[in-house]
Structure 1
């Protein structure tokens, strides 16, 4: 189960297209309080006059550029971006905005959604926070919703037509954690290995792809036994139910995650891995049952939406049918139907524990 991944080198699609938000998904976002009117849009931020490359602490290009605007644009954007921050953090309570300001705006042309990173500063104590404004992409929105519903993490985001606003997800980037923290004596290797197994299971069950180390972060929480617990959180949701290869939905198969896989092989046996996978499936089932009407509505929208290509859909259903030895995958027509069957296939044993709820999800 955790053997082949050390030698396989897989790569997601180099550039994923932006899929528009259709009217059904828009109505879903309105019903659940995600679609709101914002004072500035993604297109407003594109009106910058010039940009300057941002270098990391080692003097290398960081893929981000600091953008600048003429004074007229800047004055409008400063006020609007502080208001958007208030919408994210205090449900639009503007009584706090007088001591907030925009410290800078960065742009990343590398990402699929070409995001802007907004840096907000508290003028009283100079504390900084960030949030992101991106192009609204249907597959990314499905990914955010599935993360909010099925993972242990809550996600704050809003849409406004073709604009997507996301909170900053704090944590240590996975590649930085692997380089600087993984081998520290203070790191509990067994607990982190357990968390990686559970994270790997979550991604595969809900078909979240491209979880290379720099697309997730690690949160470290001190525990009562003077040790630490770990939580891996996805921060990139562009590859929700898009790719055709099933292994692109399994973090264990990326060479960027090889150090984490080696840790699992070193500290966990087959029985422990199976136990932690079962634990995660059970927790996902509880979350699914408690939000069964919302997840059904979301999957119904995905069934009518286009968030991948026919070639990738065909490849994924064939590979999953072979993986699970279940020909029902071959009858699925789109990514929404494949994901619905994937949830049933993976969580079936736990779903059967609560039979009265099972039929509601099956409808």
Structure 2
């Protein structure tokens, strides 16, 4: 995918925007069975609906005194003990497979709620009473789109994802990093920022999102993880919002390069990378995705078979996306035959990774099935 087309869109002001509000899709029985089989579905002591019973909330300001879009919630004392104890146990389930040995050192320092966005999450701050170190995790409504997005991220990206479900509740670990919008505003022009490595990572992130059809990766929906390396730094861009997994009908909404919020990163890429370098990094990322797919091919097949029969979008959006992807891939007929978003993801993975997968010997006889 050429970055030059985004440059033209910027000049014309023709940026794409995702749907204002995406509906929530329930977790069906087949997906629930998959989650149980792979250790994702466990009984939780506190459900999302329990956290909704707060008494009042106070707007939460950031360190600069600006509105953070989060509210700190307060509960009646009769509710609080049950919620506090349950949230500490959930943290133990998430981090130590339910080993409660260390929970006597833990407490709930704060619960924040965000009404902005589809998942309306609660953010739980767990503190170690011995040394005041704290960690976070999130409790959200279990949305099938988001569950598929988390699983695809776990299998196809370089990042492992820990999450749990129980009925209509979804628990996610905190993904550390600098929010993309803050990174662009604060760190992008820092003299210590290695712009070439950052541009390379943005190309790879752009490619990952497009191949597995993860949408709406505006700057505030991903984080930048910085790792010190020999004489310099390495960068990893990680998605943190998976609500828009295979929902929208417009192809460009699955390419982070087409969001105006990300244009500083696109401009950086155009400045520091030439066409050959961009194509090299795209190929590198597709090769790594092919190896990840090869190592988890049975789990991926199980997931995509379930996803292919699930309803996680509208017929209009499915038809639009199949047409746009087919046109982009030189009138590929297989994409036009897809009648669900799950089928589109499966076919798009085949189209994008075909050349890379056929280089892996153990997949040569199976890939065409």
The two structures have a TM-score, normalised by structure 1, of 0.98
CA deviations 1:245-304 (Å, max 9, x no partner) are: 000000000000000000000000000000000000000000000000000000000111
How far is the alpha carbon of 1:40 from its aligned partner? 0.5
* Alpha-carbon distance between aligned partners in 2 of 1:107 and 1:236, rounded to the nearest angstrom: 16
Determine whether 1:203 maps to 2:206. Answer: no
> Unpaired segments of 5 or more residues in structure 1?
none
Q: Could you tell me which of 197, 217, 239 is aligned with 1:234?
A: 239
Partner Cα distance (2:140, 2:25) in 1:
13
- Residues 148-175 of structure 1: CA distance to partner in whole angstroms, max 9, x if unpaired? 0000000000000100000000000011
Query: Residues 311-326 of structure 1: matches in 2 within 5 Å?
Result: 311-325=316-330, 326=332
Equivalent-residue separation in structure 1 for 2:66 and 2:142 (angstroms): 30
Q: 1:10 Cα shift? A: 1.2
Partner of 1:263: 268
**Gap runs ≥5 in structure 2:** none
Distance between the aligned counterparts of 1:310 and 1:215, measured in 2?
26
For residue 4 of structure 2, what is the aligned residue in structure 1?
A: 3
Distance 1:109 1:358, change over 3 A: farther
Assess, with a 3 A threshold, how the Cα gap between structure 1 residues 157 and 119 changes in structure 2: closer, same or farther.
Answer: same
Aligned to 1:310: 315
User: Residues 123-138 of structure 1: matches in 2 within 5 Å?
Assistant: 123-138=129-144
Say which of 99, 110, 114 aligns to 2:105: 99
1:27-42 correspondence to structure 2 within 5 Å: 27-42=33-48
Partner SS for 1:53: strand
1:14 paired with 2:15, answer no
Mapped contact 1:54–1:65 kept (Cα < 8 A) = yes
CA distance in 2, matches of 1:359, 1:323: 27
C-alpha separation in 2, matches of 1:42 and 1:161: 10
Contact between 2:357 and 2:367, CA under 8 Å: does it hold in 1? no
Cα distance in 2 between the residues matched to 1:347 and 1:27: 28
SS in structure 2 opposite 1:94? coil
Q: CA deviation at 1:61?
A: 2.1
Residue 83 (structure 1) aligned to one of 72, 89, 102:
89
State the distance in 2 between where 1:82 and 1:250 align.
38
Matched, 1:281 2:286: yes
Contact preservation (8 Å) 2:358, 2:367:
no
- C-alpha deviations, 1:210-233, integer Å up to 9, x for none? 000010000111112x10100000
How big is each residue's C-alpha offset from its partner over 1:52-81, in whole Å with a ceiling of 9 and x where there is no partner?
111223433221111111001001001000
- After superposition, the C-alpha distances for 1:309-349 in whole angstroms (9 at most, x for unaligned) are 11110110010011001122111111011111100000010
Q: Is the 8 A contact 1:140 1:239 kept in 2?
A: yes
2:120 match:
114
The separation in 2 between residues aligned to 1:360 and 1:318, in whole angstroms, is 27
| CA deviation profile, 1:127-151 (whole Å, cap 9, x unmatched) | 1110000000001000000000000
SS in 2 for 1:184: coil
Runs of 4+ in structure 1 over 3 Å off: 358-363
Q: Following TM superposition, by how much is the alpha carbon of 1:356 offset from its aligned partner in structure 2, in angstroms?
A: 3.7
Residue 168 of structure 1 is matched in structure 2 by: 174
2: CA distance between counterparts of 1:358 and 1:300? 21
- Do 1:292 and 1:360's aligned partners in 2 also have CA atoms closer than 8 Å? no
Aligned to 2:101, the other structure's residue is in SS state helix
Shift of residue 3 of structure 1? 1.5
The CA RMSD measured in Å over matched residues stands at: 1.0
Scaled by the length of structure 2, the TM-score of the pair is 0.96
CA 1:361 to 1:63, structure 2 compared with 1: closer, same or farther past 3 Å? farther
Structure 2 counterparts to residues 148-159 of structure 1, below 5 A:
148-159=154-165
